[in-house]
Structure 1
Amino acid sequence: MTSEPHHEPFIRNPAAADLVWDALEALSEGIAVYDADYRLVTCNQRYVDMFPLIGDLIDRGAAWEDLLRAGAERGQYRKALGQTEAWIEGRLQNGVPVGETLEIELTNGRIYQVQFSATKNNGFVVANTDVTERRKAEVAMRERETLLATVLEASPVAVVMARQGDGKIRYRSPEAFRLFGHTESATEHYLNQKDRRDYVAALVADGQVDDYRVALKDASGAPRPTASWGRLIEFEDDTYVVTAIMDLSAQQEREDMIRQVLEACPAPIQMTNAHTGEVLFSSPETIALFGRVDSAKRFYVDPNSRENYLRKLRKEGFIQEFKAQYFNANGEAFWGAVSARLIEYNGQEVIVSHTRDLTEQLRIEAELSQQQDQLYQNDKMSAMGELLAGVAHELNNPLSVVVGHSLMLREDCPDPEILRQVEKISTAAERCAKIVKTFLTMARQQPVKMQRVDINDIVQTAMDVASYGEAGEGLDMQCHLTSALPEICADPDQITQVVINLILNAEQAIRESGLGGQITVATARAEDAKTIEIRVEDDGPGIAKDLRSRVFEPFFTTKDVGQGTGIGLALCHRIVAAHNGQISLDASPDGGTVFTIFLPVKEAQSKVDSPDGAGNAASHIRVLIVDDEEDVAELNAEILTRAGYEVDVFNEAGLALETLREHDYGLILSDLNMPEVDGRIFFETIKREFPDMVNKTGFVTGDTMGRSSQTFLGEAQRPCIEKPVSPKELRAFVSELIAKGSK
């Protein structure tokens, strides 16, 4: 050192003007002036305060080199710690760095920008600017940028930033590169260019699109179903489309964006501390979903869910579609699925995740589950139909004998008392036969009792049933029936059920919505006079236009989950179609719905039996009956013998074929289900060996519901009559078969 330190207050140069000194003291910078010998001439107090460890040495006449060395030795400079001499030597090697600007960091954490400027007398001026806060802000900015870059690299959603006009790609995330490969334009991602035009048009119209479903082309050229979220942004005087793309084929959500893209991205992305749960970053969509919270622990309805989530995440390093219940921004619980990756950031475990709201998906799954239950019920009903058909088949043969003989006794018996008893037997037998045919009709799901009916009576009955009790309470239910309508051929029970179902649907819609209160049922004759109209109209909430075309689909319903099966209107449609009619849905002028049923005006047909004609024709005809049930075969033979036919009976089809080779027959009546050679093989042999007898062959069977029987009868295209058969029905069937065969 060239001088001893002075501890008395620094004395300003008395030659300087007071104004100059006041100006120097007012500066935020530390200013010091050194002469040609590099000794301190003067400085402001700010300069002294900047170097607290050597403040006692800063005085007029102090050498710059001595102050520099003292600062290093006293631990003033951070870079000099542990290497004092080397640091001093390096600083003094080229002398005072006049004309340069340096940056020094003190051990107290302050950072100064030091500028050395030459004076005219070969001295220099030192200007120290405190840049500590500026440097801290820059470090914080770099840390934030690093954080965002980390989010982008770990994001599970593919992100593409492309120019709106030509689709030229300005940025793509690693996941987008993996999904699409190295493409120059976003247009290369589309299977159909119209899809991109529609997507951009939707963006321009609304400024954003959410959950846009479209099939895109991956790196191999294969189509992939995707959901896209898009925004329009302005960047470098041009408009760009920022798109976050979720590959739905693998249910993976990855997202990777720069800060500008990330702020525009609607996908809910967040970055949290794995240990503390502290939220480090939340995208706008995450905030919209969860609200502004400082800890991810507050997301979970059950805290144990987060522990399970962390355990799986730490084990694999990533997780996909982790399902749990979360609290949304309104504090309401909802089911969500999280896809995430675990990364290291600043020495800590950090989770980058994407959350998907499963509310709509779970609603659809619940509806599908309900529909599956309904399918199960349908399967049970189908099985019941097969059971009914089987029972009917087993009863048909003995019932044929009972019905046939009772009716023949009724025709032949002259004794009134015996005839009364026969009437009871006949009535009971016919009742059993009707029950069996009802079983078969239920199995077929066709109208069971087609008869001439007055449609006004049906509608009035349906109205009375539907309005009875609480169903019609509080509603204005009106019935307008057009008089003198012609009768139609229909099943009254089924048509009544259709009208009741439509009225009850209207009543339920009005009560649940609280809208409307009037239901009107009317009948009329259509303008073409060929159909009768039944109109059921209400002033309730109505059915949306885009749903009207689907209301008759099986399992489709506009009611809430658990409130409707979607079967009622489909059943109505099936019943009306089975009557060769139509049912339609239109909007009511009052805002409700109008269902209109159209049923054809048709006289009930009846076949007229002409036993005399049959007998006349029968005198020259020989009939071959083949049935493994002896009683049924003998009964049918007796009926036809009485009608004047010559009848041969065989209980085995093989024996019948032998007699066919030896005798000529005008008609063949065969059962279907027989042991060994059944009706199918028997008919195929006839086609092959006796082709002229094909048009003279008919079937009498109790099994018309079996799949194989239905298939065979459909292929054979031959007449068939279903057991049990009355004598009148059998004679009419044979007469008709002979008439057609002769042609």
Structure 2
Amino acid sequence: MVSDARDGAERVRKIVHGLRSFSRSREQDPSTPLVVADVLDAALRLTGNEVRHRAQLVRELGPVPRVVADDGQLTQVFINLLINASHAIPEGHSDQNRITVRTRTDDQGRAVIEVEDTGQGIAPEVQARVFDPFFTTKDVGEGTGLGLSICHGIITGLGGQISIESAPEHGTVVRVVLPGHAGAPARDAAPAPASEAVTAANGRTRHRVMLVDDEPQVAHTMERLLRRDYDITVALCGRDAIDHITRGARFDAIVTDMMMPNMTGIELSEELRRVAPDQAQRLIFLSGGAFTAQARERLDELGAPQLEKPVTAKELRACVLRVVTEARPPAP
């Protein structure tokens, strides 16, 4: 009971932190024209594990104009849409289901982005409320009802539109329409999917870092801070992190949240010590300060670096650099 309350308090803290970040960023005037395909690619990397267990990912990325938006906010929108599409499809039989990401330019020169799933669909009476704050069709504890409401606020704030087409047992299409940036080139062709290579442009092999956090927005923020210098892999739960490693991946640093459902940061550490002791030595713990005395004692025993949320960019980069430097040469 106490554990459930603690987990719930930590989740509320994360939600409030996300809402504050959203409110602050809305006060800024975004002025950078973005390549939509680049933002989509970041969102797809962050949600890849979630999608893979439920459906085949299909990319139909046609050329679209650049759009003026905040990179973090637009990525948050696409992450929410991809996770919702994944959750509409039960786990298992991923070969029989699809999540399609589609981009095109409409006859008014606007960028159109669609996320379509072959899931269970949405009843008409529910569709009318999906953008209402705190409305959710998920089970208790599985959703906050804030995702689509925040998406709606972001997209309409950019002068765009977001809509849903769905029918029970026939899947769902969520469509985002954004005005093109008048000063940018008319079209940007979609790039090929990101390469698995970890070699930098100067020919030197980059260090590999895995980020483990059940909040995609937090993981995306860290990825943005580190991706210039490191090859980044994102896992949205401890089990996904273990799966990467048991399939042979090796990392020079593993940054993990402490408070995650199903497998906490400490439990991840214990499992790593069992299956890959060398990787357990690469851990960096992120905490929100909500610890029992027993957890604090165990953290001290592990001797791994610890960072307190909200962590600054300087603190995160310095800690990762220290750990990867100890891990030379770079992980294969």
TM-score band, normalised by shorter chain? 0.3 to 0.5
TM-score (norm 1): 0.22
- The structure with the greater share of residues assigned to strand is 1
Q: Which has the higher contact order (CA 8 A, sep 6+)?
A: 2
